[in-house]
Amino acid sequence: MFDSVLHGTDLDRSDLDLLVDALPGATLFGLGGLQMELEEVLGVTVDLLTPGDLPSRFREQVLAEAAPV
């Protein structure tokens, strides 16, 4: 988890930012399905990213601050 929920600055309309280490063979369809399932179960919008999806300008900061869930 990273960003506003981690920092306690989230609002009612905020999404939940999750960082995942995709297993070898994982597909965009699989990750998309996981994102949809998480949204359904949690009842909030989920932004599911891999470390490679993060812009390089703040990737290291996000990786250093991210908290496991």
- The tens digit of pLDDT for each residue in 25-47 reads 889 899 999 999 999 999 999 99
pTM: 0.82
pLDDT for the residue numbered 54: 92
Measured torsion, CA atoms of residues 21, 25, 30, 32, in degrees rounded to the nearest 10 = 50
- How much is the pLDDT for 35? 96
Question: How is residue 68 written in tokens?
Answer: 């496991």
The second-level CATH assignment, the architecture, of 4-65 is 2-Layer Sandwich (3.30)
Q: Which residue has the higher pLDDT, 6 or 64?
A: 64
Q: Residue 19: is it exposed, middle or buried by C-beta count within 10 angstroms (0-12/13-18/19+)?
A: buried
